[in-house]
Amino acid sequence: MTDTNRQIQLASRPVGAVKPDNWAHVTVPAAAPADGEFAGRTRVISLDPAMRGWVDDRPSYIPPVGLGDVMRAASVVEVTSSQHPDYRPGDFVVGAFGVQEYVVSNGRGARKIDAAAASPATYLGALGAPGMTAYFGLLDIGALAEGETVVVSGAAGAVGTMVGQIAKVRGARVIGIAGGAAKCGLLTDELGFDAAIDYRAGGVRKALRSHAPNGIDVYFDNVGGEILDAALANLALRARVVICGAISQYNNETPVQGPSNYLSLLVRRARMEGFVVFDYASRYAEAERDITGWIADGRIRVQEHVVTGTVDDFPATLDMLYRGENTGKLVLELV
Amino acid sequence: MTDTNRQIQLASRPVGAVKPDNWAHVTVPAAAPADGEFAGRTRVISLDPAMRGWVDDRPSYIPPVGLGDVMRAASVVEVTSSQHPDYRPGDFVVGAFGVQEYVVSNGRGARKIDAAAASPATYLGALGAPGMTAYFGLLDIGALAEGETVVVSGAAGAVGTMVGQIAKVRGARVIGIAGGAAKCGLLTDELGFDAAIDYRAGGVRKALRSHAPNGIDVYFDNVGGEILDAALANLALRARVVICGAISQYNNETPVQGPSNYLSLLVRRARMEGFVVFDYASRYAEAERDITGWIADGRIRVQEHVVTGTVDDFPATLDMLYRGENTGKLVLELV
């Protein structure tokens, strides 16, 4: 156990893209666990596109991170000492512990993981919020039926790779939209997608028409902007548009670009629906059981992008998400 | 029976607002009914916001009106002669007979109405497509539950007046958005709305927050544009946004204004869904029975705006819709 704890705190609220001076890199004394608490060392920190929204001071599905607070993040910690009956040194625990080296927790909102069954990164990805998001977004909000055509944007990301693979398991035809030939190759050659569209090459609307000539039954949107409009222009009758995120819009200094083609919802008798994965917490076990089984039998391949460093590398690692530099689940593993 | 038939045909496709030269006023010989047909004289013609979309040459829920074709319109005709076993002179018949003085029909898509039970205008309004649209849009797509808060835009129009009144029958709190103090007064003083917001006075977003402090459960949108955005900013959790139309956008020469606040669907776990009333044709009898009952017991008041003239007055009467000059169902009654 060390005496100090390095933290990344929110120093100021960004306008547009997050900049280095929005963060404070702070060293504070490390707390000791009181009765009913455990202490742990952070091993792996999750980087999520939603983080950009969490640092804005406006009403959302979760309160904003306060100025001067440790940046909110899911992470996996290894218990180093414990005054809590359920946790012992050497246990691995996942929770919303924030961007810091050391953690003291009473265990609320946390749970022990089986580090032999899957890596800490997997508990933050395929078996974490991204996996749950893909599972419930696709199957519950998207109401996917066998034989349907699914399109997912941000397809090479943490959620997108899972959406596409779960859709394949469920008997769908799957088209991914991603940036660059390398990501597109990964989708079709390694993750089993039926087709991939490189949005950087342009012509997404025509490419969708070509790959989904009978229209899109489920469009799972992680990006918003022009790609959402291209998908809306290609909906099948009674399509479901799942609004998961809008990474293309998060760093805007101008208003969000609304979907100009939203009247397709009328013409195609379609619906567009948003959701927040936390609402499904009571059903996570169901999703975890399915996903674990699909990983075990090789039908789902976990795709993780591990950056190694210190908590001071958090800001630069987060920027990778918005530049599209990650493939699969992006995590920061502390050395 | 006359020898000639005056028709309004589509002469050219409008760019932006429909202009007089987009129409041809044509006199053609009046046809006589063949075996299995009846002939009728047009009594009342329906004017509908959707007409603007029907004259665009692009895929929609219904094929475009062809150049040189009689303009599509629902109307009520009085049978003047018949070679059809089900129709006799003096019968009143409603159907998609188009903007013309005389009609010959084999009865497909048409049905006889009871002119003693309700006026022809009512069969085009409260008991016609607008009434069906309001009923199924609010109750089926909107899934309205008792005690919820409903907001409807275009509230003083043919659909809006019905949405608000049906919502009141079903035990909702109802806020209407309309243009001008006179329309707003009608909504609250005569049609039983709980509140009305005059969008011409500005501040719709704040007014919605004030009138629906706990959020909007069902937003029934007839207008699109900034009012849709104002409603999206005020959704309750699990709200339903019913996309019925977007009259503010129909005459755009620029792209449709997409709803910038669509990410509220995510934050509020809400859905936005479009529909086309024709899909409910097999259930019209159910809606007609309910609405007829509500009119009979005084819980719904039919609101009709009758212009009298000739078919040559169709273009000018249609323009009234897009200028918001009608209150309730707009029809052209032929003299």
**B23 and B68 assigned to the same domain:** yes
Instruction: For chain B, say whether A267 makes contact (Cβ under 8 Å).
Output: yes
Task: Determine which of A221, A261, A264, A266 to mutate to test the interface with B (most B C-beta atoms within 10 Å).
Answer: A266
With contact defined as beta carbons under 8 Å apart, do A205 and A234 qualify?
Answer: yes
User: What's this model's pTM, rounded to 2 decimal places?
Assistant: 0.95
Q: Which chain B residue has its CA at the smallest distance from A280's CA?
A: B269
Distance CA A176, CA B22 (A): 43
Distance from CA of A63 to the nearest CA of B (A): 11
Alpha-carbon gap, residue B274 to B241, rounded angstroms = 9
Residues in chain A closer than 8 A to B275 (CB atoms): 266, 269
Q: Mark whether B221 and B113 lie in a shared domain.
A: no
| Alpha carbon separation from A139 to A136, A142, A291 (Å, rounded) | 5, 5, 13
Return the residue of B nearest to A279 by Cα: B269
**pLDDT of B128:** 96
The reply to whether A264 touches chain B by the CB within 8 Å rule is: yes
Residue of chain B minimizing CA distance to A229? B258
Contact list in A for residue B276 (CB cut-off 8 A) is 266-267, 269
Q: Are residues A75 and A189 in the same domain?
A: no
- Residue A262 touches partner B, C-beta closer than 8 Å: yes
Residues B259 and B147 in one domain: yes
> How many domains is chain A partitioned into structurally?
2
Write down the pLDDT at residue A59.
84
- Does B272 sit within 8 Å of A272, measured CB to CB? yes
The count of other CB atoms within 10 Å of the CB of residue B201 is 12
Task: Say whether both A133 and A264 belong to one domain.
Answer: yes
The per-residue pLDDT string of chain B (335 residues; one tens digit each, 9 = 90 and over) reads 568 999 999 999 999 999 999 999 999 999 999 999 999 999 999 999 999 999 999 888 999 999 999 999 999 999 999 999 999 999 999 999 999 999 999 999 899 999 888 999 999 999 999 999 999 999 999 999 999 999 999 999 999 999 999 999 999 999 999 999 999 999 999 999 999 999 999 999 999 999 999 999 999 999 999 999 999 999 999 999 999 999 999 989 889 999 999 999 999 999 999 999 999 999 999 999 999 999 999 999 999 999 999 999 999 999 999 999 999 999 999 99
| Chain B closest-CA separation from residue A158 CA (Å) | 18
Q: Are residues A176 and A99 in the same domain?
A: no
Residue-level pLDDT, tens digit, chain A, 335 residues: 568 999 999 999 999 999 999 999 999 999 999 999 999 999 999 999 999 999 999 888 999 999 999 999 999 999 999 999 999 999 999 999 999 999 999 999 899 999 888 999 999 999 999 999 999 999 999 999 999 999 999 999 999 999 999 999 999 999 999 999 999 999 999 999 999 999 999 999 999 999 999 999 999 999 999 999 999 999 999 999 999 999 999 988 889 999 999 999 999 999 999 999 999 999 999 999 999 999 999 999 999 999 999 999 999 999 999 999 999 999 999 99
- In the numeric block, the tokens 């991204």 are attached to A130
Candidate from A245, A246, A273 with C-beta closest to B271 = A273
Indicate whether B283 belongs to any domain.
no
Q: Does B322 touch chain A (CB under 8 A)?
A: no
DSSP string covering A23-53, please? EEEEEEEPPPP-TT-EEEEEEEEE--TTHHH
DSSP string, B190-202: TS--SEEEEGGGS
Give the Cα-Cα-Cα angle A280, A285, A290 (nearest 5 degrees).
105
- Residue B128: phi, psi to the nearest 5? -110, -155
β-pair type (B173-178, B195-198): parallel
Q: How far apart, in whole angstroms, are the C-alpha atoms of residue A263 and residue A269?
A: 10
Query: What are the helix (H) ranges across B45-103?
Result: 51-54
Contact A170, A146 (CB under 8 A): yes
C-alpha atoms less than 13 angstroms from C-alpha of B68 in its C-beta half-sphere:
0
The owner of tokens 């029975």 is B289
Residues B203 and B117 in one domain: no
Q: A274 and B269: CB-CB below 8 Å?
A: yes
- What number of other Cβ atoms are within 10 A of residue A2's Cβ? 11
- A138 shares a domain with A119: no
A174 and A261 share one domain: yes
pLDDT value of residue A204: 98
| B239: in domain | yes
Closest of B53, B218, B48 to residue B131, by C-alpha = B48
- Closest by alpha carbon to B304, among B272, B265, B330? B330
* Residue B285: inside a domain: no
Q: How far apart are CA A188 and CA A164, in angstroms?
A: 10
Residue ending a domain, choose from B262, B278, B294: B278
- Which of A245, A278, A311 is a domain's end point? A278
Question: Beta partners for A81?
Answer: A39
Q: Cα separation of B75 and B8, whole Å?
A: 14
Q: How many CB atoms lie within 10 A of CB B17?
A: 14
Give pLDDT, residue A1.
55
In contact, A18 and A91? CB cutoff 8 Å: no
**DSSP of A64-106:** PPPTTSBPP--EEEEEEEE-STT--TT-EEEE---SBSEEEE-
Beta strands at A111-113 and A92-95: parallel, antiparallel or unpaired: antiparallel
Of the residues A278, A311, A326, which one is the last residue of a structural domain? A278
Q: What is the DSSP string of B261-324?
A: TTTHHHHTT-EEEE--GGGGGGGHHHHHHHHHHHHHTTSS---EEEEEE-GGGHHHHHHHHHTT
Contact A274/B at CB under 8 A: yes
Are the beta carbons of B177 and B199 closer than 8 angstroms?
yes
Please give the pLDDT value at position B1.
55
Ranges of H-type helices in A149-217: 158-169, 181-185, 204-211
Residue B258 is nearest to which of A246, A257, A268, comparing CB atoms? A257
Q: Are A195 and A172 in contact (CB under 8 A)?
A: no
- Of the candidates B133, B86, B131, which has an alpha carbon nearest to the alpha carbon of residue B112? B86
Phi and psi at residue B189, to the nearest 5°: -85, -30
Q: Rounded CA gap, B270 and A218, in Å? A: 17
Distance, in Å, from the CA atom of B215 to the CA atom of B260, rounded to the nearest integer, reads 18
Torsion of CA A307, A312, A316, A318, to 10 degrees: 70
Residue contact A245–B264, C-beta within 8 A: no
- Provide the residue type at B101 as one letter: E
What ipTM, to 2 d.p.?
A: 0.94
Out of B265, B276, B279, the one facing A243 most closely (by C-beta) is: B265
**Interstrand relation of B216-221 and B149-153 (parallel, antiparallel or unpaired):** parallel
Separation CA B75–CA B26 (nearest Å):
19
Query: Residue B296 corresponds to which amino acid?
Result: A
DSSP assignments along B110-160, one per residue: -EEE-TTTS-HHHHHTTTSHHHHHHHHIIIIIS---TT-EEEEESTTBHHH
The answer as to whether B290 is a domain residue is no
How many angstroms separate the CA of residue A212 from the nearest CA in chain B?
Answer: 17
DSSP A327: -
Per DSSP, the three-state class of B108 is coil
Q: Which residues on neighbouring strands pair with residue A10, listed in sequence order?
A: A23
**For residues B312 and B302, is the Cβ–Cβ distance under 8 A?**
no
**Within a domain: residue B224?**
yes
Domain CATH code at residue A105: 3.90.180.10
Residue at B82: amino acid letter: S
The one-letter code for the residue type at A25 is H
Q: Which domain holds residue B118?
A: 4-125+302-334
- Are B306 and B262 in the same domain? no
Contacts of A225 (CB under 8 A, 6+ apart): A246, A248, A249, A257
pLDDT value of position B59: 84
Question: Which member of A61, A246, A258 has the closest CB to residue B257?
Answer: A258
Residue in chain B nearest A257 by alpha carbon: B260
Residues A58, A96 within the same domain? yes
Q: Considering only CB atoms, which chain B residues are within 8 Å of A268?
A: 274
Mutation for testing the B interface, residue in A243, A249, A257, A279 having most B CBs under 10 Å: A243
Q: In a 3-state reduction of DSSP, which class is residue A154?
A: coil
CA torsion A47→A50→A51→A56, rounded to 10°?
170
User: CA A56, A60, A66 angle in degrees (round to 5)?
Assistant: 45
Position A287 in a domain: no
Residue B23 contacts residue B7 (beta carbons within 8 Å): no
Helices (H) and strands (E) in chain A, counts: 10, 15
What lies within 8 Å, CB to CB, of A189 at 6+ separation is none
Query: How many Cα neighbours within 13 Å face the side chain of B89?
Result: 4
Taking an 8 Å cut-off on Cβ atoms, the answer to whether A256 and B261 are in contact is yes
One domain for residues B138 and B112: no
Tell me, yes or no, whether B292 lies in a domain. no
Is A162 inside any structural domain? yes
Q: Domain containing B157 — which CATH number?
A: 3.40.50.720
Flag if A244 and B266 touch (Cβ within 8 Å). yes
